[in-house]
Chain A
Amino acid sequence: MISWVSEPWSHLFMQHAFQAIILVGLICGVIGVFVILRGLAFLGDALAHAIFPGVVVAFILGGNFLIGALVAAVIVSFGIGAISQSAKLSNDTAIGVIFAGGFALGVALLSTQQSYARDLNSFLFGSILSVKREDLLLTGAVGGVVLLVVFWFRREFTSISFDRSFAQSSGINLWAFDQLFLVALAMAIVISLQTVGNVLVLAMLVTPAATARMLTDRLRTMVALSAVIGMSCGVLGLYLSYYRGVPSGAGVVLVATGVFLVVFLFAPESGAITARVRRRLHHGHPERDQFGDDALPV
């Protein structure tokens, strides 16, 4: 059993992979709480796709992919803001238009490269086993900035997420904080791309936070739980990947989804099945109370 646990750690590439997924689980777990509380899951997915051309341009020019992604994220957020100003189009329509357009542009740019298929594959599904030490340092540095931003502006983000009008009336600049959140989210997404890939990054943002929400009614606890769940599912997912040959991103996301389903059904207070059982146990049934169990329909 111990060797089963320790064996993957004997490889350097697996050590790097574990460290990377722990960082990503922590960072996405924390910022993901605000993503789901503000109902921004679609925006998170869109952002991951729409920053694709920025990453590709940086790749082609040999520059830093993070900077390329951030430039793209800012352009995308302004684009979404501009289109959603139209009285005839809703915000999610604007996100949909920009998201598909940005992704198509990224694919077209990448197709000019000789290693198109391999690059596209690693972008879409990640290549966690190729994480190097420099990648880890970059992930840690950028992730540290994201966590610092979330901590420093925690009250503003909380206020905006709970009651936008009151937040605005208390002097919080909604536009500036929305942009800041979007940039922080883009940074979290970018550092997750290598680990879980573009398609599955949404699960790292949404699934641990959703699981945590089922377990608590307190924001602080939810943030801590979401981070712990994100990191644990990441590690367990890598074991699944190592021993079962499942692609790493898929392994991580499958574990996270499985944990969510278990919690959704069996959470102590709010689980779908637990709540049903509790209702049965705690509330009298008028027919059963009057006529005994036989009176209940089978």
Chain B
Amino acid sequence: MSHLSNQPVTGAPALTTHNLSVHYGNRPALEDVSISVRAGEVVGLLGPNGAGKSTLLKVIAGMVPASHGTCQFQGRDVRGAQPGITYVPQRSGAVWTFPISVLDAVLLGLARKTPRFRGFNNGERRQALDALRHVEMERFADVQIGALSGGQQQRVFLARALLACGTILLLDEPFTGVDVPTQELFVSLFDDLKARGTSIIYATHDLEQARRTSDTVMLINRRLIASGPPREVFHSSKLQEAFGGAVIVIDAASDHEPALIGSGQVIR
């Protein structure tokens, strides 16, 4: 499997949040989260359900306003959707019985850029087919989207995001419920995007996936518990703080590194 180099990424931050808090009514979803993401950095947001991972992504995407603190993209406050930031939502939110072909679903990524008085032209269709080719879904262009498997649907979502081609790509649980070939394809696409300077921030529950796929792991449980390269962050105390009782730390004698089991997952 292709995987990232895990080398520290240097350069000016593309995105920062400062003391960011979000409350849904009286319920706090995020408290005092300060992060910094550089161009070409792949960040795994790791935490249990309800930890605020999706909320943080939505604040960055301009979908949820911060209750306190700031979120800045290229030095400017994020207020509403930004052209350079592309968001890939969780697959479960879409209506998969919707009467739309794979190609038309990808073209929705261009919907706001195309003049209203005309349909999509050949150039735009070629762009969409190109995005589908990147996720190896070109031959499904005319298929009704509900007929695809979960992994294939996730690929279409990624193709739609590639079309918008932002500086920052946000993905909410992209690896959940998808097959291994799709996971491998995503990791290799992350490599390509990273090489082009695109920052990727994705949410996951999967400790092993986060370790393999991220330059930086941010452990979140409403607060930012730890942030740094996976080897620095994956310490038992920090993981236990993030996951509570769900993480059992055991010693793995074979490679003299701690192995962690979180929600049935093993990390070595």
Contacts and interface: CB of A to CB of B under 8 A. Distances in A.
A152 interface: yes
A162 B88 CA distance: 14
B94 interface: yes
A16 interface: no
Contact of B63 (A37, A165, A219): A165
Contact of A166 (B80, B99, B108): B108
A271 B186 CA distance: 38
Given A158-B100, A168-B81, 4 more contacts: A155-B116, A169-B62, A169-B81, A170-B112
A171 interface: yes
B246 interface: no
Contacts of A217: 99-101, 144
B108 A171 contact: no
A87 B25 contact: yes
B111 interface: yes
A41 to B, nearest CB: 15
A158 B111 CA distance: 10
A163 interface: yes
Contacts, number: 78
A170 B81 CA distance: 6
Nearest to B105: A162
Nearest to A217: B144
A159 B109 CA distance: 9
Interface residues on A, range: 20 to 34
B61 interface: yes
Interface of B: 25, 58, 61-63, 80-81, 85-90, 93-95, 98-101, 104-105, 108-109, 111-112, 114, 116, 144, 157, 160, 164
Contact of B99 (A164, A169, A219): A219
Contact of A163 (B89, B104, B164): B89
Interface string A137-181: 000000000000000100110110111111011111000000000
Contacts of B89: 163, 165-166, 169
B94 A163 contact: yes
Contacts of A37: 95, 98-99
Given A155-B108, A163-B93, A169 B61 contact: yes
A27 interface: no
A173 B58 CA distance: 14
Contacts of B105: 162
Contacts of B80: 171
A156 B104 CA distance: 13
Contacts of B144: 217
